[in-house]
A and B are shown apart, each in its own frame.
Chain A
């Protein structure tokens, strides 16, 4: 993935044995999100809902600013994603589909080329980060539930 072009979306996919409704709750119910995703003060799966959170390495934190764009229950959640103090705005989409009674989740993160062309915003970072959330964090959470 090192050669990933900045104008290409970062796509990470994974299937779970949990039904779609359960995965949708994990993605949209803040009490559940806190157990595997970023800790947000509040989250509502409603177009126009704005949220922000600080994340990053201890020595370099970024304030993330997001606006919910699209909500189709049990199918699609998308929000814009930018960093306070930096140019650019991107879009993260979670697409859910039934996979033999389980759920296939596809994360698509587009618009990374609108961010400054520096190491902090390199596509491989997004690929690693989203892979962690799908393969470790969400997989572990769904198994526990």
Chain B
């Protein structure tokens, strides 16, 4: 069961690592591809934040994050639970740079700690796939400044 309680998504971006790092750790940028209601975020061990996200069915879910490990431009890891959970899952972003290409690996562990019946392995795989394969990829690969 242990293995089944982890979601892993990997992807490669045509973007330098500092850009990807900003996108995953700067609240203003996170709001544009991740969760719209993220209020603040700091890539610092011990930093905690809480935000409420509305869902299509009209329900609201409270997300509670606490940063547990940071190596700038290499990895960040934070605990994640919802307002209904007693225990934390753990999400880790790992970046590796090669010139202007950045590979990203997101590992979401201990997802069995989520008590909400809607937060299933399948839904988390879909959700992370959407963020990492689509929204974050589009965000960091946008080349608007190249138009100037």
Contact = CB atoms under 8 A, between A and B. Distances in A.
Per DSSP, chain B at the interface is helix
B142 A132 contact: yes
Contacts of A64: 148
Nearest to B148: A129
A22 to B, nearest CB: 15
Nearest to A130: B148
A56 B28 CA distance: 25
A42 to B, nearest CB: 19
Contacts of B26: 140, 143-144
Residue of B27, B29, B142, B144 ringed by the most chain A CB atoms within 10 A: B144
For the side of the interface on A, what is the size category? 10 to 19
Contacts of B32: 136
A128 B144 CA distance: 6
Per DSSP, chain A at the interface is helix
Contacts, number: 42
Interface in B94-148: 142-148
A57 B29 contact: no
Contact of A137 (B27, B143, B145, B146): B145
A38 interface: yes
A143 B27 contact: yes
A139 B26 CA distance: 10
B28 A125 contact: no
Interface residues of B, number: 13
B144 A131 contact: yes
A133 interface: yes
A82 B67 CA distance: 45
B28 A38 contact: no
B22 interface: yes
Contact of A132 (B22, B27, B28, B144): B144
A51 interface: no
Interface string A104-129: 00000000000000000000011011
A138 to B, nearest CB: 10
A40 interface: no
Given A136-B29, A140-B29, 14 more contacts: A56-B146, A57-B143, A125-B147, A125-B148, A126-B148, A129-B144, A129-B146, A129-B147, A132-B144, A132-B145, A137-B145, A139-B28, A140-B26, A144-B26
Interface of B: 22, 26-29, 32, 142-148
